[in-house]
């Protein structure tokens, strides 16, 4: 079999089609979009936003030959007939790509805007009075329409990247500067409505205080629309219909049937959901890398490490177990423009680390969680590295040893190693006791969760809550933690029994072991522990 060309990193629709790469046909969505005028789409990085924007550009440039064999090739003729216009009508396309720049430099945003505007001015001219970015942009749109006799199409890729890359507190001044520049620049779109045929902006999130959202009253945000749930990403049906040879090759490498291979892919890479009723999609970058390398690796997460978000979760003492299918947010919070500096949950959702799991219609509330095993494992591993101040490699090596000891039932060795591990943790910036206790509790949660065990923290029953419950194959450990000043290991054991923390597990047939541990606030570590079989 001739090896087929996988479009890894190919963001140009023209290059993809002319060079014979595989293409999952998304052109039916263009037919839907033509009913409106101004759109915004939020999707995580490496989900195909740029390729779809390039497809729109080819359509509005009238590049008919690129669509041969695709859905739109036939649909366009009927659309033109219904609209009483010429098929494949050409429009001036102003394509602004903000993705190809790093915005840590003071002048980066101004430089890239100037590059784009200068290119457009070579085509459509300029005027001496146009000295600001908004006035230059507005002048270009007006002249492009006047010179061609057709209204312009404005396509902006990753409109918010200059803001996302400067969210860190250390770059607050640059973040504000970039915001002001973009607010003025995007305001030109509203002022030139009479010259515009179509506008499509992509990004990760909707920042407030930007004129693109506050000024464009007719803007249609399709990010959560059921009709566009599959506009980016690959559905299960598309995976099966487009990648049959690749699935067979991967299955042969893994010694699995096609169905078993699909089950592995679904567990590790599927699960992204971008609408209330929309079907789940795979991250296309992950799938293409898997088929290229014939290996189930962690490809998407490795291309962008959200250390800033992990540190923010620690700073806010966020209950990390909630990230696994228990984050609840109101619909209005996901739909409305917002500021993200102090809201890591919003960024985690918009960036693809959390996704929609369920929707409660009566309460207009979403439940979010990790989309799949890749994101779950990699993000929890990152959190552990952030808590562990020493070498990240050493943290993972220690994790392997901890797993060996707990599986062998060697609790004393496990707790001793946890003392050593905690000694390497990054200390809280405050001596507030509940923050110290949070750090210790979260380390236990992360250690057990990354081992792949069934672990819960703060498990509620009718009379109280256990700090940590760990379910192994034959044993269930019930941990209760006390600060040295508030109780001893014996007090912790007594609480486990008095509060009936073991009652829900008595019918499991497994050995039940209560573990009471105290933390020495002065030493910032485990002081002592005792265990008792129940």
Question: How far apart (Å, rounded) are the C-alpha atoms in residues 241 and 223?
Answer: 25
Question: Is the model's pLDDT at 460 over the cut of 80?
Answer: no
Q: Could you tell me the pTM of the whole model?
A: 0.85
**3 state SS of 433:** helix
Torsion of Cα atoms, 5 then 8 then 12 then 14, to 10°: 0
What percentage of the chain has pLDDT greater than the value 90?
A: 54
How far is residue 159 CA from its own chain's centroid? Answer: 17
At 377 the pLDDT is 87
**Whether 472 contacts 406, CB under 8 Å:** yes
Q: Name the residue among 505, 498, 171 with its Cα closest to residue 341.
A: 171
Highest mean pLDDT, choosing among 118-122, 278-282, 331-335, 474-478: 118-122
CA distance 307 to 320: 15
Which residues, including other chains, have CB under 8 Å from residue 501's CB and lie 6 or more apart? 459, 461, 464, 466, 469, 478, 480, 495, 514
* 289: nearest Cα among 302, 280, 271: 302
Cα separation of 441 and 432, whole Å?
A: 15
Give the helix ranges, DSSP H, for 192-243. 211-214, 236-242
Identify the weakest region by mean pLDDT among 143-152, 334-343, 439-448, 516-525.
334-343
Q: Is the pLDDT of residue 390 over 70?
A: no
> 64 CB contacts (<8 Å, ≥6 apart)?
73, 76, 87, 88
Q: Which residue has the tokens 């009379």?
A: 463
Segment 286-292 mean pLDDT: 95
Confidence of residue 268 (pLDDT cuts 50, 70, 90): very high
Ranges 47-61, 165-179, 502-516, most confident: 47-61
Answer for the pair 43, 320: CB distance below 8 angstroms, yes or no.
Answer: no
Q: Say whether pLDDT at 384 is over 70.
A: yes
Pick the closest to residue 140 from 156, 125, 119, 161 (CA basis).
125
Give the CA angle between residues 431, 436, 438 to the nearest 5°. 145
């Amino acid at each position: 079999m001739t090896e087929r060309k996988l479009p890894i990193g190919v963001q140009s629709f023209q290059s993809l089609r002319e060079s014979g790469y595989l293409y999952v046909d998304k052109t039916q969505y263009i037919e839907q979009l033509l009913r409106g005028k101004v759109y915004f789409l939020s999707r995580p990085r490496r989900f195909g936003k740029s390729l779809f924007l390039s497809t729109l550009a080819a359509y509005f440039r009238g590049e008919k030959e690129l669509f041969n064999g695709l859905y739109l090739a036939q649909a366009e003729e009927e659309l033109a007939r219904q609209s009483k216009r010429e098929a494949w009508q050409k429009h001036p396309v102003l394509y602004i790509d903000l993705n190809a720049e790093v915005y840590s430099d003071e002048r980066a945003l101004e430089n890239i805007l100037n590059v784009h505007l200068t290119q457009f001015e070579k085509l459509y001219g300029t005027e001496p009075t146009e000295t600001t970015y908004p006035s230059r942009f507005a002048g270009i749109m007006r002249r492009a329409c006047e010179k061609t006799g057709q209204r312009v199409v404005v396509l902006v890729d990753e409109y918010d990247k200059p803001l996302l890359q400067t969210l860190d507190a250390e770059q607050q001044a640059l973040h504000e500067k970039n915001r002001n520049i973009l607010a003025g620049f995007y305001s030109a779109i509203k002022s030139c409505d009479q010259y515009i045929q179509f506008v499509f902006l992509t990004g990760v999130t909707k920042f407030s205080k930007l004129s693109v959202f506050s000024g464009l009253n007719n803007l249609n945000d399709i990010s959560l629309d059921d009709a566009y749930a599959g506009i980016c990403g690959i559905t299960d049906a598309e995976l099966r219909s487009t990648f049959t040879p690749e699935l067979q090759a991967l299955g042969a490498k893994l010694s699995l049937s096609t169905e078993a291979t699909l089950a592995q892919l679904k567990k590790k890479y599927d699960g992204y959901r971008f609408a209330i009723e929309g079907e789940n999609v795979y991250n296309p970058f992950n799938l293409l890398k898997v088929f290229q390398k014939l290996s189930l690796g962690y490809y998407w997460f490795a291309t962008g490490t959200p250390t800033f978000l992990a540190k923010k979760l620690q700073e806010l003492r966020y209950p990390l177990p909630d990230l696994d299918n228990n984050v609840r947010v109101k619909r209005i919070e996901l739909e409305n423009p917002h500021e993200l500096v102090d809201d890591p949950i919003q960024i985690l959702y918009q960036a693809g680390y959390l996704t929609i799991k369920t929707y409660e219609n009566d309460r207009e509330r979403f439940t979010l969680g990790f989309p799949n095993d890749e994101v779950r494992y990699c993000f929890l591993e990152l959190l552990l590295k952030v808590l562990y101040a020493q070498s990240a490699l050493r943290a993972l090596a220690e994790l392997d040893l901890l797993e060996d000891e707990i599986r062998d039932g060697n609790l004393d060795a496990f707790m001793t190693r946890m003392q050593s591990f905690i000694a390497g943790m990054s200390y809280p910036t405050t001596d507030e006791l509940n923050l110290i206790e949070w750090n210790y509790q979260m380390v236990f949660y992360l250690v057990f969760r990354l081992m792949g065990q069934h672990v819960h923290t703060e498990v509620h029953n009718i009379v109280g809550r256990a700090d940590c419950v760990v379910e192994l194959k034959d044993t269930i450990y019930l941990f209760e933690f006390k600060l040295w000043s508030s109780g001893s290991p014996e007090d912790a054991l007594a609480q486990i029994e008095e509060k009936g923390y073991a009652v829900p597990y008595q019918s499991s047939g497994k050995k039940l072991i209560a573990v009471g541990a105290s933390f020495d606030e002065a030493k910032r570590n485990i002081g002592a522990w005792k265990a008792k079989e129940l």
